Structure 1
Amino acid sequence: GWGVLGRVETAFTYVINYEDGTQVEAPCRNFNEVWDWYFIAPTADMAKRNCYKGWVNSMNRGLYIWQWQNPNPEKRIQSLDIISASGQQIPLIVAITVEAP
């Protein structure tokens, strides 16, 4: 969705639920873990945060990829909740992939 350039705030939070009943939260902040589809993001700033350009159109607008490291790779993930922080920004999740540790 749309963000306000220069204002860093939590847009949404991933809540990762493990099979053992524990969970961990991964907040996604504008211009840190997620980027506005419309703004041209500086690649160097993104790489510092494990965020990369995914698909980009001819006007340099597009989708971004954030790589999250599971702090508990020995635990099996049961489910994932995505919670909007304010309800004003709606996260668009295109895909979630997993790779072996």
Structure 2
Amino acid sequence: IPKVIESHEKEKEKVAANKEIYTAIAGGTWKKEDELRSLKGQSAELDRRIALTLAPSEEEETEGMKQEEGLSGNSHSVKVSNEPSPVQNKEEDSHSQSFRPKWRH
């Protein structure tokens, strides 16, 4: 145990000697800080531009609404369901039960 205490005291002395250097590094401005701020601003601007180009324009939205209104007047509507049919469920169950990976023979 005395050797461990001695090694820790030596390490503590080294840290105490370099304390001023460490505080100067931590308190100073980082070399890449300004560049990072600039890049973050550019990134935010690009995100806004992308969002604007991906958002449908007002003209397209009004045309889409007109088309939907025209379709809603149609008496022949088709019901679309996201739920699988019982036949699909049986097929999927039988497929999953028969599947075995090659490495598990």
TM-score by length of 1: 0.14
Report which structure shows greater RCO (CA 8 Å, sep ≥6): 1
TM-score by length of 2: 0.13
More helix by share: 2
Structure exhibiting the larger radius of gyration computed from Cα positions? 2
More strand by share: 1
